[in-house]
């Protein structure tokens, strides 16, 4: 009975930005729990390579290429997939970017790109999928937040702002859509060894600082996000709504 709560057999999950890094790890993890997978990104070559990798492991995979910042393009892609292939039961809004510059020198165009990629995409894809989920009276949406949802660090103030917005947009989704049978929550990774953090991982001084700052005393491995994501996308979280779950080695719990 307890394991059935986490069984995703028969469910289909769309993960944005899933050709590499956290998105790909979550796609593989949800597949291991029984879900069929829809990979998304803008680079079709990278998407197809990621899809082939999962298919080699026996995973049922579709590829849905679209730009998550393009409202009309997102709507057309999601509506077309639902009509032609079938229901998207789970959405993981993972697409995101980073730009590191001191706030006083931060370029305005980079700030706008961060807003579009990290916040607007959550709205665009969330709304497109929710329209169908609402009709069915069920759906799971997980928005990828960050340790920066709660904390700030020099050089990434606009990123911090976007991830704070993701948490509040998640609350808004839950407030509007829980009545329709949807559970909308956020998953907030701490510092993980991903392509987005490659420059920091390669910096011995930063890695030493991180080990001293984090109670777990290390970088996270992307596979360590999978359990929380399965919880938030399965029947186990049927009355969990509008919350942000931190998977961060304890960094938000300590001074």
The residues annotated as belonging to the active site are: 159
Cα(212)–Cα(222) distance, integer angstroms: 20
Instruction: Label residue 186 exposed, middle or buried (CB < 10 Å: 0-12, 13-18, 19+).
Output: buried
């Amino acid at each position: 009975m307890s394991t059935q709560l986490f069984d995703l057999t028969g469910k289909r999950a769309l993960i944005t930005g899933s050709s590499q890094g956290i998105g790909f790890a979550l796609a593989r993890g949800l597949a291991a729990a029984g879900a069929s997978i829809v990979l998304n990104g803008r680079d079709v070559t990278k998407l197809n390579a990621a899809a082939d990798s999962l298919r080699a492991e026996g995973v049922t995979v579709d590829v849905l290429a679209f730009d998550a910042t393009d409202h009309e393009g997102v709507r057309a892609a999601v509506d077309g997939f639902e009509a032609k292939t079938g229901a998207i039961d789970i959405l993981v809004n993972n697409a995101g970017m980073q730009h590191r510059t001191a706030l006083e020198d931060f370029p305005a165009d980079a700030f706008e790109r961060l807003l579009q990629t990290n916040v607007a995409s959550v709205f665009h894809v969330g709304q497109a999928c929710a329209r169908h989920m609402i009709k069915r009276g069920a759906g799971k949406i997980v928005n990828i937040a960050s340790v920066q949802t709660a904390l700030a660090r020099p050089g990434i103030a606009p990123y911090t702002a976007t991830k704070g917005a993701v948490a509040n947009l998640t609350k808004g989704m839950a407030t509007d859509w829980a009545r329709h049978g949807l559970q909308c929550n956020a998953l907030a990774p701490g510092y993980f060894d991903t392509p987005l953090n490659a420059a920091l991982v390669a910096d011995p001084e930063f890695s030493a600082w991180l080990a001293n700052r984090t109670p777990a005393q290390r970088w996270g491995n992307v596979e360590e996000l999978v359990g929380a994501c399965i919880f938030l996308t399965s029947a186990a979280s049927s009355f969990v709504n509008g919350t942000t779950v931190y998977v961060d080695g304890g960094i938000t719990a300590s001074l």
